Structure formats: C-alpha cells, structure tokens
Structure 1
Amino acid sequence: MEAARAEIRQAVLTAFCAALHDTRLPPLALIELAAHAVGSVYREVADAHCGDQPCPCGWRPRLQADLEALQAALALSAASTPQPDLAGMAVLGRA
C-alpha cells in the first residue's frame, strides 16, 4: 500500500508542478482542480461498481461513508507535520 501511495503522490505532484508552470494559476486553484479530478475518478469507479453487472471485486460504493473517508484522509494529510530528517538532526550521543 505504501508503494501505491508514493506512486500516486508522485504522479499528482508531477501534474501539479506542470500545471503550476503552464497555467500560472494560484496553487490553491490547482489543488481544487485536483480535488475535482479525484471526485470524478471516484464517481467513475463507483458507477462501474453498480448496476446489473458490477465489478467482481466486491466493493460496493456508499457515497456518504466514502465521502467521509475521503474528507478524513485529506484533512489528515493536509494537517500532518513533516517527519524530521535524521540526516539533519544533531547527534546527542553514541549508540
């Protein structure tokens, strides 16, 4: 799961940086566009898992619960503080 998270993050960051350079839009405007893209991907995937012949994976979309999970993930990621880099820390002793 961590590899998938890193791969998706890198793809979003690459697209964000390219759009920032190409459009000169403010960063928050581009982040809002990224949120719209995630929402549209959710809707497309959810639609593929509904109906007469849903996907055999077994996932069943639940819009309200899914939106709450997405919002919580966004809030957690946006509010988290970066972890300190061990390379930049002062040495306090020996192991």
Structure 2
Amino acid sequence: MEWNRMLTVLKSCSKSSILTIYWGNGLIIKGVIDTFSETDNSLEEDDPDYKEYYMCVIKIADIVRLPNQGPFNEKVGDLIEVSILNEPIKIEEKGKGIIWEK
C-alpha cells in the first residue's frame, strides 16, 4: 500500500483547516480532517478484487451541494471517506485555494 498524491497533500493540511471537497457527481462539502487510516474494500483477502488502501476521514461541517443523482444520507457532523475508492475531483483549502485536482 502506498500513499497517493491526494493523501500526501491532505496530510500536510492542519486538522483545523476548512476544506471544500468536490466530487464528480456534483456533491460539494466543507469539512475538517478527522483522521487518516488504512482500510480495505470488505472483500475476502483471496478475492482477486480485494484491495487495501489508505483513506482520510473528513468531518462534514457544511453540505454545499447535494449529488446530482442517488441518495446522500450523511449530514453535518457525520464522517465521510476520501480515498482512491471515493476520490473527489478537487480539494480547496480555505485561504490557499486549490490544493489538489484530479
């Protein structure tokens, strides 16, 4: 498992920094970093699609825009994963502008 560039950029942010995160489905949230962790995609280890990866957990401070399609059950105060399996298209840090873009 390796850190990707997006996680390296997020790791350099202060935990108190307000981040605005944009996903390709139209979802936009504002939040702060809660923690970093390693996880997997919940498949059995012998499954050929099994994957271990790192993630950043963001605590939602504001939901700026809901996704264009599909349900979004999270609310302010909930946690959301940012990872290679839930990769945004752009991340901005308050006062610094765009810090990562796909």
Structure 1 length-normalised TM: 0.25
Structure having the higher Rg: 1
- The structure with more strand, counted as a fraction of residues: 2
- The structure with more helix, counted as a fraction of residues: 1
Structure 2 length-normalised TM: 0.24
